[in-house]
Amino acid sequence: MNDKRLLSLALAVAALGLAATAHAQTSNIDHRWSADFGIGWDHGVSGNINSSAMGRIDNQVVVILKNSYQSVYGTGLHIRFGGGVMIDEVTEVRATFIYQSLNADLTPMGDIGTSKLYGQYDKYQMFGLDAGFRRYVDIAKDFRAYGEGTLGLGFIDELDVVLAAPTTNVAERATDFYDRTAAFTLGGNFGLLWQVSNQVGVFGQVGLRWVTGLSAVDGLAGTGLEKINDNSSRWTLPIVIGVRARF
């Protein structure tokens, strides 16, 4: 059994255990269940969509420069929706679905022969599920700060790239630069919740999230450029505002 299956099984067992614990410990807590929706921005902190390398294609020397996720994709859309159950007055077990979408800019990739080489990456899209714990601290009437840790899986769409060298009038689509990927995710968030009424709250939060590397497709075998897509894990800084309902 591979590592991803072991992690998935561990998450499922943990979720069942947490659900049983929550049911046993929350019978006397009012509004112990919650659902929330948030929207915001996903800012890249570190990680490269491609690494640097030198090689040859069609008997021409090729130099590839590394490009970070932030330089290619900038800041994109981050949507999350999920819910939780209170174990006690300050501790919540949570599960959250996350959708990320980032459009790519035209990217200088390096040189091929005497021409500059450019790349146009596909849109980066991910849908994932994070599970974790959240702890609340009362800081004023109707205001609670919180911190949480999460662990999960993210499913990232296939990423292609179109390569073009204008001086030599060459354009080529590198199909399956990255294949569809099931990646591990690890994160933490800090936020502030304003309880507008007994059942409705408004929150804002900032976090740090790590996503493991994409599934590289070795379409450049024999060119010397095989490793440009081998190291693609990334850190992001999601900033989210939203609403939370208790019931």
What's residue 202's pLDDT?
98
Cα–Cα distances (Å) from 95 to 9, 18, 199, in that order, read 16, 11, 19
Phi and psi based region of residue 243 (left: phi greater than 0; alpha: psi -120 to 50; beta: remaining): beta
DSSP string computed for 24-83: HH-TT-TT-EEEEEEEEEEEEEE-EEE--EEEEETTEEEEE--EEHHHHH-SEEEEEEEE
**Three-class secondary structure of residue 9 per DSSP:** helix
pLDDT digits (tens, 9 = 90+) for 4-20: 554 555 455 455 445 44
pLDDT in tens, 28-63: 567 799 999 999 999 999 999 999 999 887 788 999
Cα gap 247→245, rounded to integer Å: 7
Predicted pLDDT at 8:
55
**Reported pTM:** 0.82
Region of poorest pLDDT, from 19-28, 67-76, 154-163: 19-28
Q: Is 212 helix (H, G, I), strand (E, B) or coil?
A: coil
CB of 173 closer than 8 Å to CB of 158: no
Helical spans, DSSP H, in the chain: 3-25, 69-73
CATH number of the domain located at residue range(s) 3-246 in this protein: 2.40.160.20
Alpha-carbon distances of 105 from 14, 114, 124, 227, rounded to whole Å: 40, 23, 11, 22
- From the list 65, 55, 45, the residue with the least C-alpha distance to 107 is 65
**Digit-coded pLDDT (tens) for 65-109:** 999 999 999 999 999 999 999 999 999 999 999 999 999 999 999
Q: Which amino acid is at 201?
A: G
